[in-house]
Chain A
């Protein structure tokens, strides 16, 4: 079946622009996670949804970062007033309710802020 998909795959933004990154999880997966991966590092947790409820947003680096999943399927990560330090790969992962920690990742969106 289809895996996790993300769009766009690449995004170049000028400093100060707002960006929106989309994630389509595996069908039926109730849990959805966003991670940020800096060059040469492992992914770092940003936020977690169970269905439409955002249960944990402790990893969001600032109030410029906002995520939503209004219908419990597709999710959007929005970054307002982008800064150069926001340049990274943004990964989305989903998991079923039964095996929550076996997370399946999408290909990521590579964001470059100039």
Chain B
């Protein structure tokens, strides 16, 4: 099945730093979404992208749908302690075939160093 490669696996940052993470696929996707998951909770939708090249912001978060349709990135500016968590990219393959659900990456663990 489809796989999304998400990197980095983990990030150790200091409060106030900017963060960048990305997600790539071997095939074209027509939808990219970014979620954040805290321990013991379900994923929370941060940003949804539907068009190649689309750049969307949500507060300090900015995400882009890559022009090749095979990648997406998420940036977090001026990180704060509550940004700690696991960030997942998810997408829907362009082919439309196969499962109707989203395909998820393995997540990026964001850790803020004291």
Contact = CB atoms under 8 A, between A and B. Distances in A.
Interface of A: 4, 6, 33, 35, 40-48, 55-56, 58-59, 91, 93, 99, 101-108
Q: Which 4 A-B pairs have the closest CB atoms?
A: A45-B101, A42-B104, A105-B42, A56-B100
B74 interface: no
Contacts of B41: 107-108
Contact of B43 (A43, A44, A48, A59): A43
A89 to B, nearest CB: 8
Interface of B: 4, 31, 33, 35, 40-45, 48, 50, 88, 90, 92, 98-107
A93 B90 CA distance: 13
A101 B45 contact: no
B100 A103 contact: no
Given A35-B101, A42-B106, A45-B103, A103 B45 contact: yes
Contacts of B40: 107
A56 B99 contact: yes
A91 B100 contact: no
Given A6-B42, A55-B100, A91-B43, 10 more contacts: A40-B106, A41-B107, A43-B104, A44-B104, A56-B101, A59-B99, A101-B92, A102-B33, A105-B42, A108-B41
